[in-house]
Structure 1
Amino acid sequence: MTIFENFLYDIQKVKVLDNDIHISKYVAIDLSEKQTDHSRKFLEDPNHFQSFIDDYLRTNNALVAYGGYNEKRTLYHHNELFNDEESAERNMHIGFDFWAKAGTKVVAPLDATVHSFDYNTGEGNYGPTVILEHQIDGHHFYTLYGHLSIESIENIEIGDHIGRNQVFASIGDMSVNGNYAPHLHFQIIIDLEGYFGDYPGVSSEDDLPHYLKNCPDPDLLFKLSTP
Structure 2
Amino acid sequence: MTRAATISAALTGKADLYAALRGLAAQLPDLSLTEVLAAAPKHEAARLRGVDQGLLRAVIRRGQGLPAAAIEPALRQYLTQAKVSPLFLPAISEGPSLALQTRGEHPDMPAFSDRAFDAWFAAKGVPYGLGSYGEKRSVYATDQFADSASPERRTYHLGIDVFAPALTPVYAPLPGKVAFVTYNADPLDYGHTLILEHEAEDVTFHTLYGHLAGTLPGLCKVGDTVAVGQLIAHLGDWHENGGWAAHIHFQIMADMLEQTDGNFFGVGHESLWDVWQSICPDPNLILRLAPERFRV
State the TM-score bracket (shorter-chain normalisation). Answer: 0.7 to 0.9
State how 1:56-71 maps to structure 2 within 5 Å.
56=124, 58=125, 62-71=126-135
Name which of 114, 122, 132 aligns with 2:186: 122
Alignment partner, residue 160 of structure 1: 224
Name which of 187, 200, 206 aligns with 2:271: 206
Once the two structures are TM-superposed, the CA of residue 181 in structure 1 deviates from its matched residue by 0.6
More divergent stretch after superposition (152-161 vs 182-191)? 152-161
5+ residue gaps, structure 1, are: none
RMSD: 2.5
Once the two structures are TM-superposed, the CA of residue 75 in structure 1 deviates from its matched residue by 2.9
Rg (Cα) greater in structure: 2
1:222 aligns with 2:291: no
Matches of 1:108 and 1:168 in 2, distance apart? 6
Count of paired positions: 219
Indicate the structure with greater helix content: 2
Contact 1:102 1:170 in 2 (8 A): yes
Alignment partner, residue 121 of structure 2: 53
Alignment partner, residue 93 of structure 2: 23
Matches of 1:8 and 1:26 in 2, distance apart? 25
Once the two structures are TM-superposed, the CA of residue 13 in structure 1 deviates from its matched residue by 4.7
Question: Tell me, what secondary structure is at the counterpart of 2:193?
Answer: strand
Once the two structures are TM-superposed, the CA of residue 28 in structure 1 deviates from its matched residue by 4.1
Contact 1:81 1:124 in 2 (8 A): no
TM-score, structure 1 as length reference: 0.86
5+ residue gaps, structure 2, are: 1-71
- The structure showing larger relative contact order (alpha-carbon pairs under 8 Å, at least 6 residues apart) is 1
1:111 aligns with 2:175: yes
State how 1:40-189 maps to structure 2 within 5 Å.
41-42=110-111, 46-56=114-124, 58=125, 62-77=126-141, 79-82=142-145, 87-189=151-253
More divergent stretch after superposition (173-182 vs 146-155)? 146-155
Question: Tell me, what secondary structure is at the counterpart of 2:271?
Answer: coil
Matches of 2:133 and 2:92 in 1, distance apart? 22
Per-residue Cα deviation, 1:154-173 (whole angstroms, up to 9, x for no partner): 45321100100000111000
Contact 2:207 2:252 in 1 (8 A): yes
Once the two structures are TM-superposed, the CA of residue 193 in structure 1 deviates from its matched residue by 1.2
**Percent same amino acid among aligned pairs?**
29
Per-residue Cα deviation, 1:121-141 (whole angstroms, up to 9, x for no partner): 121100000100000122210
Question: Tell me, what secondary structure is at the counterpart of 2:78?
Answer: helix
Change (3 A) 1:106 1:193: same
Once the two structures are TM-superposed, the CA of residue 16 in structure 1 deviates from its matched residue by 1.0
Contact 1:113 1:132 in 2 (8 A): yes
Indicate the structure with greater strand content: 1
Change (3 A) 1:122 1:22: closer
Per-residue Cα deviation, 1:91-138 (whole angstroms, up to 9, x for no partner): 110101110010010111011100112100121100000100000122
Question: Tell me, what secondary structure is at the counterpart of 2:263?
Answer: coil
Once the two structures are TM-superposed, the CA of residue 150 in structure 1 deviates from its matched residue by 1.3
Change (3 A) 1:84 1:189: closer
Change (3 A) 1:22 1:126: closer
Matches of 1:12 and 1:206 in 2, distance apart? 34
Contact 1:32 1:73 in 2 (8 A): yes
Change (3 A) 1:27 1:72: same
